[in-house]
């Protein structure tokens, strides 16, 4: 193996190690989860609904069929 080829292999290995370490360190840290045992008990507090009313969509969308036509019937029963 020539001296030039050996140098290229060493540089390639070092670059691969550097890229692997950079990828590893850039990953987000795992979320810490706290576990709690479930117990039966009474309700100690309640929350009141202070925003009673009608919910309105913040975005609207128009649905258009791929082909035109008239709907002549819907084969479904109310409540189904």
3-state per-residue secondary structure call for the chain: CCHHHHHHHHHHHHHHHHHHHHHHHHCCCCCCCCCCCCCCCCCCCCCCCCCCCCCCCCCCCCCCCCCCCCCCCCCCCCCC
Ramachandran sector of residue 31 (left: φ over 0; alpha: ψ -120 to 50; beta: rest): beta
User: Rounded to two decimals, what is the model's pTM?
Assistant: 0.38
Per-residue pLDDT of 50-79, as tens digits, reads 777 777 778 887 877 778 888 788 888 777
- Taking only the tens place, the pLDDT of each residue in 6-18 is 999 999 999 999 9
């Amino acid at each position: 193996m020539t001296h030039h080829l050996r140098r290229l292999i060493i540089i390639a290995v070092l670059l691969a190690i550097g890229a692997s370490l950079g990828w590893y360190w850039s990953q987000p840290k795992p979320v810490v989860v706290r576990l709690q045992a479930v117990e039966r008990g009474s309700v100690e507090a309640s929350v009141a609904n202070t925003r009673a009313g009608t919910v309105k969509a913040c975005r609207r969308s128009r649905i258009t069929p791929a082909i035109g036509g008239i709907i002549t019937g819907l084969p479904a029963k109310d409540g189904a």
